[in-house]
Every structure is written in structure tokens, then in C-alpha cells.
Structure 1
Amino acid sequence: MGISADHIRKLHKYEIRILVALERLMKRYQWVPLDILTRTVRLSESEVSYRLGRLMDWGMVRYDTVPYEGYTLIFSGYDTIALISLTRKGTVSALGCMIGEGKEALVYEGLGLGPVALKFHHVGQRSFQSARVTREYLPEQGHCPWIFASGYSAEREYQALQRLQPAVSVPLPIDHNRHVVVMELISGATLNRCRLSEPRVVLDAILENVRKSYEAGIIHSDLSEFNVMVDGDEQVYLIDWPQWIDPAHPNAEEILARDVDNIIRYFDRKYRISYALQDAMALVMR
């Protein structure tokens, strides 16, 4: 279920209190028992049950009896409390249409002081166990609900964007809350959806930005034609940074080479531009 601004506007203050309490209690419970939730929000059990029913109808909360009876936030509930917080801070004043969807994120248009993009990290949406394996910042063992994994992902991306600006061509970071990053709205399309008039110029620009990010102490580690954006003037932006690593990482050179190889192979396939990996790596690491 997508984000519903109408449902958010209709939320009662008790329902917001329940959502925030569930978030806090999920640090201790996989499924939050009703009696624990009731004591935490200091409302009657009947009131809490009624409010939970509305939240479940709107797709913000889920109930289950396995391994025991309890409630948990689902993505739209977490999206909701993050949006409420960003609105109260004045970062966001309106939510627009969804403009992008990936395996682990949704991107919406919005308004702040001007047009913005809101990226909702949804780590583990398809498979939390595979996300745990591929993202080294997640704990290998122990209790780590997807909402906190998504928060870690958003925080890392926000940190990367802050460090890379303005030397590297990335979206300008504006704010973040929980699992949401608010950033500059970039026009254009991802590289795989473009037909470039000057592909060699764009390839050189991508490699130059990879070089500058390496100098800044950040390796993308998931770079491909799907996370490079090109606007109408063929200005390049590198996007999607939550999996970045430091050049001091033991496998840094191998991971950097994979990023670079993904890009040069794409340009070879689509535009027949040959670029030796050794030459590209020498440029990036000079």
C-alpha cells in the first residue's frame, strides 16, 4: 500500500501516539503485545484496540498471532511518522506523486522551500535476510527490525551526500528523518533509459565523478547504469549511496573495479565505446 496523504491528515493524535510507541517498543519486541502497548501510551485497552483497528485498515500496522499475539509497524506506518516529523520541522509542506521505485526504496516528489525528492528507504522489503548479507552496516545477529535497518540505510546515504557535496555531482541533501532522505529534485532519467547524443562525454563525466568521490573517501559500491541520472543537457548525477564503503575497506579496490567495470561495459554494449578497465582504474585512482 502506498503513502496516503489523506490518511495522514485524518490521523487522530492517539493514533500518532500509538505509531510512535510501536516504533520505540519494536527495539525490544518483534511483535508488541497489546498490554505493553496500552501501558506505554496510557490509554484504555478499548481505545487502543479501536485506534489499532483504524491503523490496520489503513495499512500502517499489522497484527499476528505467531510466534505470539502482537502488533508491528509496516512500511506505510513508518513512512507516516517520518513524514509527520519532517512536516513539523518545516522541511516538507506537501507530498506529490511517486516518481521512482526500486527494490529497496520509493521516491516521491514533494515541496519544501522548493521542489524536493523524498527517498523512503525500505530495506528488506523483498528479502530482509539477503539485505542483511549485502549490507555490512547491518548487525549479523540479534534483533534488527526492518524499520531500523531502513533508518541506518537512510542515515548512511545522507552522510555520503553531505560529504560528497559540492565536489561530486550528486543531489543536494536537505534533511533526513528515520528512513527518509529529503534531497534536491533532479530532472532527467537514469542512464539506462537515455539515448545519449555524446556518450563519450558522459562516460568521461561519470568516471571523473567516481574519481572525485574516491578522493573524498567514498566508494559507491553499487554503481551501474541504474543509479546514474542524466538530465536534458546530459549533466550527470550519481545517485543511491547507502552501500558506500571507505577506501580503507579490505576489498575496496576490488569493489571500486566492479563499479567502474559496470559502467564501461554498459557503454561498450550500448554505444560501442571501448575503455580498458586498467586505464579507467588508473584515471579513478590517480
Structure 2
Amino acid sequence: HEGRCHGRCSHVGSMGGGGGGGACATTMKLDPSALRYLSKDDFRVLTAVELGQRNHEIVPTVLVERIANLGRGDAYKVAKNLLRHKLVHHERKKYDGYRLTTLGYDYLAIQALVKKGLISGVGTQIGVGKESDIFEATDEQGRAMVLKLHRLGRTSFRAVKNKRDYLEHRKNFSWLYLSRLAAKKEFAFMRALGEHGFPVPEAIEVNRHCVLMERMAAYPLVRVRNLGNVQDVYRQAVGLVARLAQHGLIHCDFNEFNLMITEREELIVIDFPQMVSTSHPNAKMFYERDVRCIVDWFHKQYRYDDVDDAESHFSFETVVGRSAAGLLDKELRASGYDKECEDTLEDWRKASHGDSGSSEEEEELSNDEEELPELERAALDVTKLEVG
């Protein structure tokens, strides 16, 4: 629901300083209270690793030191702290280096949103999906918002590593890049749809893989067992699929999980990273699948049968024939979202389709914990050498 955070958010405070603050009560990997214990040097090294990953899968330690402008001893001390908080992963197979973890990327994005004055706290996790985590956030005035962190690569990392040939023409292929593209796409589509009067949350800001949006006073449709006017809500749903197509867009995942409903039984559409244009080769199939999902859900959940035969009335050919196609495409191009971004994401989804494997990150982080004492000794040895 909309409203104030009522103590459920962990106050982030200003980055790079000390301070107290307990962890959120909910069990989750993202603990925003830990941000308060990170120094400016911690964020300098995190940013250095991020910059280095533009051209390196594992960023050489010497490059991290150079970008962060820190001496070797200082860099090792910072790296030890970042490893302890699981913000970076240390690799020594081919050479000594680091890469960001999911949590490290989260912290960089949240820090940027705090610096802009957009949020002051991150609270409980309110949603989780195969490719995203969703948290409650709040600003200094107590306004409740939603922070969505895209996680492309979390569940499909091994599968796509084995299909690198499929994506070898993608120069910047990495989970950071893909997650950032997914966030950029969702933000662009949400903002464009909102400006054209579609019932979507207000898109507030995007940073890296994070989208900050309005928190709506609504419930997920999947959790609603009874409706006051089933036919009206059904017509709203099918009408939204058709209206999107008239504006040249197919949602591609239009179902009970991505629809919210207000107390007045007005629908709100969410989750846009998979959206495609009506000019897509498979647009007709995607459109008909969206309509069929709604028809099937209303029959299964509410025992409602479509007496108006919406599938025929709102056929793809009929709807696109009344289309204002190209209108939103221009808006999206102006926002910086282009065909190259779309092609990259589509290649990723093709390469990872059907995979249900798990990420290697947990195993790597466990190995990082084992090497912490060794890294600490190395840092002490280096410090002694420099002092001497």
C-alpha cells in the first residue's frame, strides 16, 4: 500500500561515514544497514572494480589500485573489508583480480540514489522473481516507494557461459550490463506508458540495474479470490492488452502476476522488461498468448467465461489495424532506449531460455570467506614492506 514506512525501513544515512543502525527484520541478502559502515575508500574501490569490468571479466588488482588511486597496502585492506561484506569476489586462477558481486552492484546503485536525495532507507523485501528482487524504500518525508533490482544472470549464469558462441558478437556481455539494460528498458517503457495515460506506476529514477518507482495502493491480482464485478475487470484486462498493441507494443508477460488491482477494482500494469514492438516477428503469437493468459485465468479463478468472445473481437489483425504504431517507439528512442539494447536482451533470453540452474556466486563467496585470513596476512606483509 501507499503510505509511510512505519519503521520497516533501515535508514541508510550518508554514505562513507560511520554510524549505527540495525539490520532489517526480514531475512534477505540485501542488508542496507551495512552501507553505513562503508568508508569513502570502500566505495572508491567498488567503483574502480565496476569501471574495470567494462573491459575485464575479472579486474586485475593492479588496475583496481590505479583506478581507485590507492596504494597497494591500502587497497588490500579495503578489499578485505569488501570481501567480508560479500561485495566483491576475489579470483586468482589466471591472475589476481576482483569482480563485483550482486550485492556490491546493489550498494553502488543505492548509494547513488541516496546521494540524489531520492531515498533515505531501504526496507523489507516485498517481492522476488527469477530476474528481479523488489524492496520497499522510503525518502526523508516518509513516502513509501518501490525499489526493483534486476537480476539477469542470477539463475541462468552457467547455461549462458556454455553458450558464449551465441553471444560472442556482444562486446559488453556481462550480467551487470544485461541487468542495467533490463532496468533501462523497464524505466523507459514505464515512463512512456505513464505519459500516454496507461495505468502504470510512476517511474521515478533508474540507476544501474535499479528502478525506483511509485508504490501503488493496490494488490496483486493473483492474490484476489473474489471480485465485485468480474466482467468489468476482465474487460479492463483484455482492453489493456489491445490498447498496448494499438500503441505498437506487446507486453509479452501479461498475466495475473503482472496486474495489480485497487480497492475500486481498477487494474494497474507492472513489469515491462520483456515488452516488444508490434513489428517483432513473433508479435502476433505474443499478443495472442497475453490474451489467452487472461481468458484462462478468469475462467480458472473466477469461473468467468468470455461471452463477448474477446479473442475474436480483439484479434491481433483488428487491433493493429487501428494502431498508432510508431508513436511510443519514437518516445522510447528519445529516452535513449534503442534497438541495440533490445537485440542484446533478446539474445540473452534466447541463450538462457529454459534454464533453471543456479548461480555460481554462492559457491564463490564461500571460497572468498575461506581466503580472508590469507588476504589479511598479505595485507599486513605489504604494509610492513611499504613502511620499511
The TM-score normalised by the length of structure 2 is: 0.68
Match of 1:215 in 2: 246
Distance 1:248 1:88, change over 3 A: same
Deviation at 1:280, TM superposition (A): 3.9
Match of 2:154 in 1: 125
Distance 1:140 1:79, change over 3 A: same
Match of 1:187 in 2: 217
1:93-242 correspondence runs (5 A): 93-112=120-139, 114-128=143-157, 141-166=170-195, 167-197=197-227, 198-242=229-273
Match of 2:57 in 1: 30
Match of 1:6 in 2: 33
Match of 1:244 in 2: 275
Match of 2:370 in 1: none
- Contact kept, 8 Å, 1:260 with 1:281, in 2: the verdict is no
Q: Distance in 2 between matches of 1:187 and 1:48?
A: 46
Deviation per CA, 1:98-132: give whole Å up to 9, x if none.
11111111111112362211111111111147689
Q: Distance in 2 between matches of 1:202 and 1:19?
A: 47
Match of 1:278 in 2: 312
Report the residue type matching 2:175 in the other structure: W
Which structure's relative contact order is higher, taking Cα pairs within 8 Å and 6+ residues apart?
Answer: 2
Distance 1:46 1:107, change over 3 A: same
Percentage identity across paired residues of the two chains? 30
How much is the aligned-residue C-alpha RMSD, in angstroms?
Answer: 2.1
Deviation at 1:189, TM superposition (A): 2.6
Report the residue type matching 2:217 in the other structure: S
- Contact kept, 8 Å, 1:60 with 1:75, in 2: the verdict is yes
SS across alignment from 1:165: helix
Deviation per CA, 1:77-117: give whole Å up to 9, x if none.
11111111111111112212111111111111112362211
Deviation at 1:232, TM superposition (A): 2.9
Deviation at 1:142, TM superposition (A): 4.1
Match of 2:299 in 1: 268
Q: Distance in 2 between matches of 1:182 and 1:157?
A: 11
- Contact kept, 8 Å, 2:241 with 2:254, in 1: the verdict is no
SS across alignment from 2:277: coil
Which ranges in structure 2 are unaligned for 5 or more consecutive residues? 1-27, 162-166, 323-388
SS across alignment from 2:147: strand
Report the residue type matching 1:175 in the other structure: E
Deviation at 1:61, TM superposition (A): 0.8
Deviation per CA, 1:134-165: give whole Å up to 9, x if none.
xxxx8864441111110000000001011111
The answer to whether structure 1 residue 76 and structure 2 residue 103 are counterparts is yes
Deviation at 1:34, TM superposition (A): 0.8
Q: Distance in 2 between matches of 1:192 and 1:165?
A: 23
Distance 1:251 1:222, change over 3 A: same
Match of 1:135 in 2: none
Q: Max radius of gyration: which structure?
A: 2
The ranges of structure 1 where at least 4 consecutive aligned residues each deviate by more than 3 angstroms after the TM superposition are 66-69, 128-132, 138-143, 282-286
Moved more, 75-84 or 206-215: 206-215
> Paired residues, what number?
281
Deviation at 1:266, TM superposition (A): 1.1
SS across alignment from 2:249: coil
Deviation at 1:66, TM superposition (A): 3.6
- Contact kept, 8 Å, 2:48 with 2:67, in 1: the verdict is yes
Q: Distance in 2 between matches of 1:268 and 1:279?
A: 18
Distance 1:67 1:187, change over 3 A: farther
